[in-house]
Copies of this chain bind each other. A is one copy, B any other.
Amino acid sequence: MSILVVGSVAFDTVETPHGKVENVVAGAATYFALAASYFTQVRVVGVVGEDFGPEHEALFTKRGIDIRGIEHAPGKSFHWRGEYSGTMNEAKTLDTQLNVFAEFAPKIPAEYEDSEYLFLANIDPKLQLRVRQQMPNVRMVCGDTMNYWIVDHLDSLKPVLRELDVLLINDGEARLLAGVPNLVKSAEAVLAMGPKSLVIKHGEHGATAFFGDTSFAGDAPITLPFRAPTLPLAEVVDPTGAGDSFAGGFYGYIASQPELTPAVFRRALFYGGVMGSFACESFGTDRTANLTLQEIEERFEDFRAISHL
């Protein structure tokens, strides 16, 4: 089954207590696509500038990712610069240059139209909605968003939320969207806005899934939330992209399965954590782009071992 992801493809310059990298290929769609590529066919819709050459494309094509939907525009690619310190739970943004991304108008290649799974990475909700409307026949839609859209573009975001089978956001975003501090109440409020389920990512403390509508989840109704662990890492080299990698592992696993049952949803959350943990182990995409299926399965078993009685 194919996943179509629309989102940013960028260059990042990142500094952490473990060192610094400059102008490495990054962006939400990149991390998502690489993580999902171990599970299923992935197709990317994005935009890059003239600085994005064949050596950068190879990062995707080596993983079998379809990048015919990455548009090459005149100018420079999106560039983000940030740093992490202390507990490294949050990035400090030092500079954002949208460049060609400022005028991003997603175009879906005809070859992508039979994609069955759609992932709307964190971009302008107006664009998310437009892409959704161009893909009316997908089996499932998942999406991400962030504080900026929640605070300043809520009216654009609301119709997107109503389209989502799964919304993946972090604690702070959930509380901001709901306007209440309690996590369960936040989840209830967010689910009332439309998404059939909600995955709240807690960074180093794993993730919790809440279910508002179980119709998409097979026969067994899920009345309790579900909590997925993360593997405690002694070396968090660079957490950039961990959330997008989580989404990629989660959604990639779902797309690889014939049916979305509650058991598949739970395993998908574990695979999300697995891919998120790998993303933290190197700068940029180095680790995520060079995994073996055996490494992924072994870590999945570690996740089981650290969480099961």
The chain A residues found within 8 Å of chain B, CB to CB, are 86-88, 175, 181-185, 187-188, 202, 204-206, 208, 210, 224-227, 229-230, 232-236, 263, 266-267, 270, 302, 304-309
Contact = CB atoms under 8 A, between A and B. Distances in A.
Nearest to A185: B234
Contacts of A206: 205-206, 227
Given A224-B305, A305-B224, A309-B266, A184 B233 contact: yes
Given A267-B309, A270-B309, A308-B309, A208 B224 contact: no
Nearest to A208: B232
A224 B309 contact: no
6 contacts: A182-B233, A183-B204, A227-B230, A227-B306, A227-B307, A304-B309
A161 B131 CA distance: 58
Given A87-B181, A181-B88, A234-B182, A227 B224 contact: no
Given A88-B181, A183-B204, A206-B205, A232 B225 contact: yes
Most chain B C-beta atoms within 10 Å of own C-beta, residue among A175, A225, A307 = A307
Contacts of A270: 309
Nearest to A234: B184
Contacts of A233: 182, 184
B185 A226 contact: no
Question: How many copies of this kind of chain does the complex include?
Answer: 2
Contacts of A188: 234
Contacts of A229: 227, 229, 307
A223 B208 CA distance: 25
Most chain-B CB neighbours within 10 Å: which of A202, A225, A229, A305?
Answer: A229
Nearest to A203: B205
Give me the 8 closest cross-chain CB pairs, A-B, nearest first. A205-B205, A184-B234, A227-B229, A87-B181, A184-B232, A224-B306, A86-B181, A227-B306
Nearest to A223: B305
A210 B302 CA distance: 14
Contacts of A308: 307-309
B302 A224 contact: yes
A160 to B, nearest CB: 25
Nearest to A263: B309
A144 B107 CA distance: 58
Nearest to A226: B306
Nearest to A175: B87
A135 B102 CA distance: 70
Contacts of A225: 232, 306
A227 to B, nearest CB: 4
A188 to B, nearest CB: 7
A235 to B, nearest CB: 8
A305 B224 CA distance: 8
A11 to B, nearest CB: 27
